[in-house]
Amino acid sequence: MRISFKDWVKSGSPWIWLNAGAVAISVMLVLGLVAIIAVRGLAHFWPAELQESLATDLQGQQRMQLGEVVEVEQVTAEQLRGAGYEVHADSDFLNRQLMKVGNRDIYGFDFRWVLQRDLQDISYPPYAVAMERREWGNFYGYLLGITENGELLGEQERGENHLWEEAQKRIDRAVDIYWEIHALEKQDIGAINYELEQLRLEERRLELEGEDTPENLARLEAERQKWDQEYQALLQRLNALNEDFSRDSFLMETTDGYKLEIGLEEVVRAYQPNNMNLFQQIGHYFDKVWEFVSEDPREANTEGGIFPAIFGTVLMVLIMSVIVTPFGVMAAVYLREYAKQGFLTRTIRIAVNNLAGVPSIVYGVFGLGFFVYFVGGNLDEIFYPEALPAPTFGTPGLMWASLTLALLTLPVVIVATEEGLSRIPRSVREGSLALGATKAETLWRVVLPMASPAMMTGVILAVARAAGEVAPLMLVGVVKLAPNLPLDGNAPFLHLDRQFMHLGFHIYDVGFQSPNVEAARPLVYATALMLVAVIASLNLAAIAIRNRLREKFRALDM
Least Å from the CB of residue 304 to another protein: 19
Return the HEC string of 366-431: HHHHHHHHHHHHHHHHHHCHHHCCCCCCCCCCHHHHHHHHHHHHHHHHHHHHHHHHHHCCHHHHHH
Least Å from the CB of residue 373 to another protein: 6
Establish if 31 lies at the interface with another protein (CB under 8 A): yes
Which letter does DSSP use for residue 264 in this model? Answer: G
Least Å from the CB of residue 487 to another protein: 24
Binds another protein (CB under 8 A): choice among 27, 58, 183, 318? 27
Segment contacting another protein (CB under 8 A): 193-201, 299-307, 416-424, 507-515?
507-515
User: 492: cis peptide before it, omega within 30°?
Assistant: yes
Least Å from the CB of residue 239 to another protein: 40
Segment contacting another protein (CB under 8 A): 164-172, 204-212, 246-254, 503-511?
503-511
Q: Cβ closer to another protein: 300 or 355?
A: 355
Site for another protein in 340-379 (CB under 8 A): 348, 350-355, 357-366, 368-370, 373
Nearest to 477 by CA among 363, 352, 346, 340: 363
Can you tell me the distance from the alpha carbon of 102 to that of 128, in angstroms, rounded to the nearest whole number? 13
Segment contacting another protein (CB under 8 A): 45-53, 101-109, 236-244, 534-542?
534-542
DSSP assignment of 128-142 equals: -EEEEESSSS-EEEE
Binds another protein (CB under 8 A): choice among 1, 89, 222, 491? 1
Least Å from the CB of residue 31 to another protein: 7
CA 503 to chain centre: 3
Q: How many chain residues interact with another protein (CB under 8 A)?
A: 107
DSSP assignment of 425-481 equals: -HHHHHHHHHTT--HHHIIIIIIHHHHHHHHHHHHHHHHHHHHH--HHHHHHTB-S-
**x/- binding map, residues 410-449, to another protein, per CB under 8 A?**
xx--x-----------------------xxxx-xx-----
Q: Cβ closer to another protein: 273 or 391?
A: 391
Instruction: List, in order, residues 6 or more apart from 475 with CB less than 8 Å away.
Output: 361, 364, 365, 367, 368, 396
Site for another protein in 298-327 (CB under 8 A): 326-327
Binds another protein (CB under 8 A): choice among 56, 508, 541, 545? 508
Angle, CA of 329, 330 and 335, to the nearest 5°: 100
Binds another protein (CB under 8 A): choice among 294, 512, 548, 551? 512
Site for another protein in 79-138 (CB under 8 A): 79, 82, 92-93
Binds another protein (CB under 8 A): choice among 46, 113, 258, 338? 338
Site for another protein in 442-501 (CB under 8 A): 443-444, 464-465, 467-471, 474-475
Nearest to 261 by CA among 165, 159, 144: 144
Site for another protein in 230-259 (CB under 8 A): none
CA 1 to chain centre: 59
Which letter does DSSP use for residue 554 in this model? Answer: G
Can you tell me the distance from the alpha carbon of 250 to that of 389, in angstroms, rounded to the nearest whole number? 49
CA 337 vs CA 200, 333, 409: distances in Å:
53, 5, 21
Q: Cβ closer to another protein: 140 or 400?
A: 400
Site for another protein in 381-410 (CB under 8 A): 407, 410
Establish if 75 lies at the interface with another protein (CB under 8 A): yes
Q: Cβ closer to another protein: 59 or 74?
A: 74
Instruction: List, in order, residues 6 or more apart from 523 with CB less than 8 Å away.
Output: 44, 292, 301, 302, 303, 306, 510
